[in-house]
Amino acid sequence: MRTQIVAGNWKMNCNLDESLHLLNELKLKDFSKAEVEVVIAPTFTNLYAVHQNLNDSSIKISSQNINENEEGAYTGEISPDMLKSVGVEYVIIGHSERRAIYNESDELLAKKATAALKHDLKIMFCIGEMLDQRKADKHFDVVKDQLEKGLFHLSASEMENVVIAYEPVWAIGTGETASPEQAQEIHEHIRNVLAKKYNQNIADQTSILYGGSVKPNNAKEIFAKKDVDGGLIGGASLDANSFAEIVMSF
């Protein structure tokens, strides 16, 4: 049985006080009823404090980015070891905002994936097509290409620490979501691509999350699809009640 995960990507929101406040609200929710791993991704400056304040909560911490180098003259960057040292368990790699705004290439993302795994950090690797690519019916090829270039240098055993997040770019922050059927068909495709590259076991074990305007009112029907193993939640993760409702949609 693969792990079901609901992860909140806080993006560049919440200062320290706001992050701790949101965490405290989440800690009041009883996530134990949902058989799902709950992950939150605060911004770099708040990772340590959030981790220190988890207490006995089962919530896990993710960073939103990572640098591919070990250490050295990379002003403004954060290394894998730094993340590990403050309690980070997951890293989001390849979010479409990093790809689009910061020009992160597939080649760079591949290096980031290797660097994260070397430090025992699990990866949430984001893929997804843009609107014009979907309109041109290229979405299946686009995600396959992103997987091949960003992840397929990894071994089968390394893939055990990789979660994939399918996030159609046209659905991120737009209020428009993929229909449950659209999500299912592309998640199934992703699983088939994994099976072909690695083996059926790896494909069956890999959690594939959907992201893009997941809200309390649409989470249940998306999560009900057989190849959707959870969600990567942006906007709705900034509100503890909405995020908890999404978690409870399982």
Residue 223 to residue 77: CA distance in whole angstroms: 35
Does the footprint of ligand PGA cover residue 211 (CB under 6 A)? yes
Q: Which is nearer to ligand PGA, 59 or 209 (CB)?
A: 209
Q: How far is the CB of 56 from ligand PGA (least distance, A)?
A: 28
Tokens of 158: 């390394």
In DSSP terms, 232 is beta-bridged to: 7, 211
Q: Which is nearer to ligand PGA, 32 or 103 (CB)?
A: 103
- DSSP letter assigned to residue 45: H
Q: How far is the CB of 177 from ligand PGA (least distance, A)?
A: 8
Span near ligand PGA by CB under 6 A; candidates 42-50, 127-135, 182-190, 206-214: 206-214
Residue 121 to residue 84: CA distance in whole angstroms: 7
Buried b or exposed e, range 45-83, using 16+ CB within 10 angstroms: ebbbebbeebeeeebbbbbbbbbbeeeeeeeeebbbebb
Residue 23 to residue 62: CA distance in whole angstroms: 13
Is 167 an annotated catalytic residue?
Answer: yes
Residue whose Cβ sits closest to ligand PGA: 234
- Contacting residue, 19, 43, 79, 213, with ligand PGA by CB under 6 A: 213
Using CB atoms within 10 A of its CB, is residue 123 exposed (0-12), middle (13-18) or buried (19+)?
buried
Q: Which residue in 37, 68, 97, 167 is the catalytic one?
A: 167
Is 95 an annotated catalytic residue?
Answer: yes
- Contacting residue, 167, 191, 218, 225, with ligand PGA by CB under 6 A: 167
How many residues form the binding site for ligand PGA (CB under 6 A)?
A: 13
Radius of gyration of the chain from its Cα atoms, rounded to whole angstroms = 17
User: Which residues contact ligand PGA by CB under 6 A?
Assistant: 9, 167, 172-173, 211-214, 232-236
Q: Which amino acids are annotated catalytic?
A: 95, 167
